[in-house]
Amino acid sequence: MLVLALALALGITLGLLTNVSVPLGMLTYLGVAVLAAIDACFGGVKASLEGTFDDKVFISGFLTSTLMAAFIVFVGDRIGVRELYLAAVVAFGMRIFENLGSVRRLMFARWGWE
């Protein structure tokens, strides 16, 4: 867990120091990408704890869900239904909380608190 926290801190520091930013119109894409990444991370932690973690599955899952989310946002922009990105937000949001629940239970099992 500590390594993951360090990686997160390192990423944030790196982003703040380089002061990278995107055009305002891309902010929705970025938000969905953040959600996709959070979702992937919880999914990855869960898989690790379950012992089913697989690099290929993990990376491909992260990339495809991010691309799909970006595609949904893009289509929403094109057909004039900007709120279509909410579909991606809701899906990722639900999965994040589901995975969080699983990780919590797996942690208990791991530390023998059950």
Partner 1 sequence: MHRSPYRPALVLVVGVLGILIATAFNTTTRAAEVRPPGRSGDLVDVVREMEGQRESLQERLGDLREEVARLEREAAEDAGMTRSFTQEFDRVRLNAGMAEVAGPGVEVVLGDGADVPKGADPNDYLIHDTDIAGVVNALFVGGAEAVAVNGERIIATTPIRCAGTTILVNATRLGNPYTIVAIGDPETLEQAVREDSHGSLLFDVYAKQYGLHVSLSRVTETSVPAFKGSMRPVYATPDDGGV
Residues that bind partner 1 (CB under 8 A): 1, 3-4, 7-16, 19-22, 24, 26-27, 30-31, 33-34, 37-38, 40-41, 44-45, 48-49, 51, 53, 55, 58-59, 62, 110
Which region holds residue 80: left if phi is over 0, alpha if psi is between -120 and 50, else beta? left
The rounded distance, in Å, linking the Cα atoms of 70 and 51 is 30
We find the least distance from the C-beta atom of residue 7 to partner 1, in angstroms, to be 4
Q: What is the per-residue burial (b if ≥16 Cβ within 10 Å, else e) of 35-53?
A: bbebbbbbbbbbbebeeee
> 20 vs 79, which CB is nearer to partner 1?
20
> 87 vs 106, which CB is nearer to partner 1?
106
We find the least distance from the C-beta atom of residue 44 to partner 1, in angstroms, to be 4
Q: Which two tokens stand for residue 99?
A: 């995975």
